């Protein structure tokens, strides 16, 4: 028996151990391996793995249970601004400021295809069936490709300025794009513009709610906001972060909670029904650029300019995260 009692949490079939007092800030684990800012993070569909992209041009696959790198995928020649797993977890997509989007075989650790974006590419997402990928471009468009043929299927044009965020709806029928002062909703099949939300600020991140009805937006005004896509009404304004801008937002799988990340080095956990702050997660030594919920909604992963990823317990269960005020 050691003098420090280990608290063990069962996570997605793997045993995670965290020692109380070691990570007083509340995170369960720090993932180290990037040589510069960690710009984008995502969980695999089964929650056992994670992927990250950084300002060091690298993509790293991680074992979530122990925080160790599984592999490093190289090929980009500029910062990697977006990463995502396919719905079956067998492939991954990355977007970069080298003006390309790349498709990867996760198990084989090899490059399958490179798509020419024609400009700095920001954010990456798969459709529900995994047959299409999208990314936002500095030229003010969202581009969509077929993952099998590599063919450019459609260009969604009309945003005001560079597109920093692109997302598929849960059913794959619609697309969201976030740009200067606007969030645009598109028909994925026809390219028709369905709705424009006037946010009044540069949009860094915009994501669909799990039911596809609402959108959570984070931007330069430091304030996460929840909008209705049916009528374009602003439903809720959350409390401001302390500095600069909201860099990334995410919904929990059940839609009842949300996370926002910021240049203020924190993540904030919100109740989407009331707008109340559930907790403030502190521990990063620099701006937090990206955040994601685990598939079961119990954990969060963040990437920061301190060159680390961190795993947090955001469950509503028996264990409480040290440092998170409820």
Per-residue pLDDT tens digits for 262-309: 999 999 999 999 999 999 999 999 999 999 999 999 999 999 999 999
Task: Please name the helix (run of DSSP H) or strand (run of DSSP E) that holds residue 216, with its range, or none.
Answer: strand 214-219
Task: Please name the helix (run of DSSP H) or strand (run of DSSP E) that holds residue 61, with its range, or none.
Answer: strand 59-63
The pLDDT of residue 320 is 36
Average pLDDT taken over every residue of the chain: 90
Are 30 and 283 in contact, with CB atoms under 8 Å apart? no
Are 137 and 117 in contact, with CB atoms under 8 Å apart? yes
At 243, is the pLDDT very low, low, confident or very high (cuts 50, 70, 90)?
confident
Best CA proximity match to 215, nearest among 230, 201, 202: 230
pLDDT beyond 70 at 18? no
At 244, is the pLDDT very low, low, confident or very high (cuts 50, 70, 90)?
confident
| Per-residue tokens: 56 | 């060091």
pLDDT, mean of residues 242-253: 94
Are 87 and 45 in contact, with CB atoms under 8 Å apart? yes
Q: What's the order of all strands across the beta sheet hosting 91-96? A: 80-85, 91-96, 100-105, 110-116
CA atoms within 13 A on the CB side of 217: 34
pLDDT beyond 50 at 160? yes
Q: What is the pLDDT of residues 73-105, one digit of tens each?
A: 999 999 999 999 999 999 999 999 999 999 999
Domain boundaries, the chain: 7-313
What's the rounded Cα separation, in Å, for the pair 263 and 10? 31
CATH of domain 7-313: 2.130.10.10
Which residues, in sequence order, are bridge partners of residue 61? 51, 71
Best CA proximity match to 109, nearest among 70, 144, 135, 146: 70
pLDDT, mean of residues 51-60: 98
Q: Comparing 216 with 243, which gets the higher pLDDT?
A: 216
The pLDDT of residue 292 is 98
pLDDT beyond 90 at 5? no
| Rounded (5°) CA angle 215-218-224 | 80
The pLDDT of residue 321 is 35
Are 130 and 112 in contact, with CB atoms under 8 Å apart? no
The pLDDT of residue 226 is 98
The pLDDT of residue 316 is 58
* Lowest pLDDT segment from 21-25, 27-31, 283-287: 21-25
The pLDDT of residue 191 is 97
What's the rounded Cα separation, in Å, for the pair 208 and 255? 10
């Amino acid at each position: 028996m050691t003098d420090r009692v280990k608290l063990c949490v069962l996570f997605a079939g793997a045993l995670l151990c965290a020692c109380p007092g070691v990570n007083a800030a509340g995170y369960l684990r720090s993932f180290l391996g990037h040589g510069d800012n960690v710009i984008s993070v995502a969980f695999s569909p089964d929650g056992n793995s994670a992927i990250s992209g950084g300002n060091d041009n690298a993509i790293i696959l991680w074992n979530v249970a122990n925080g160790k790198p599984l592999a490093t995928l190289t090929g980009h020649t500029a910062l990697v601004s977006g990463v995502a797993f396919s719905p079956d977890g067998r492939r991954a997509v990355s977007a970069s400021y080298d003006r390309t989007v790349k498709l990867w075989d996760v198990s084989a650790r090899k490059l399958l295809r490179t798509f020419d974006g024609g400009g700095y590419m920001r954010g990456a997402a798969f459709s529900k069936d995994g047959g299409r990928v999208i990314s936002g471009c500095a030229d003010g468009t969202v581009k969509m490709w077929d993952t099998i043929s590599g063919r450019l299927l459609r260009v969604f044009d009309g945003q005001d300025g560079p597109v920093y965020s692109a997302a598929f709806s849960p059913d794959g029928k619609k697309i969201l794009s976030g740009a200067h002062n606007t969030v645009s909703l598109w028909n994925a099949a026809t390219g028709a513009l369905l709705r424009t939300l006037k946010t009044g600020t540069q949009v860094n991140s915009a994501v669909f709610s799990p039911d596809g009805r609402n959108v959570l937006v984070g931007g330069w005004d430091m304030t996460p906001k929840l909008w209705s896509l049916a009528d374009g009404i602003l439903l809720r304004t959350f409390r401001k972060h302390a500095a600069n801008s909201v860099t990334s937002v995410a919904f929990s799988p059940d839609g009842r909670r949300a996370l926002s990340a910021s240049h203020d080095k924190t993540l904030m956990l919100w109740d989407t029904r009331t707008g109340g702050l559930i907790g403030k997660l502190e521990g990063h030594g620099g701006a937090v650029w990206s955040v994601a919920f685990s598939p079961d909604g119990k954990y969060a992963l963040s990437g920061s300019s301190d060159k680390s990823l961190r795993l947090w317990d955001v469950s509503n269960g028996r264990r409480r995260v040290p440092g998170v005020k409820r």
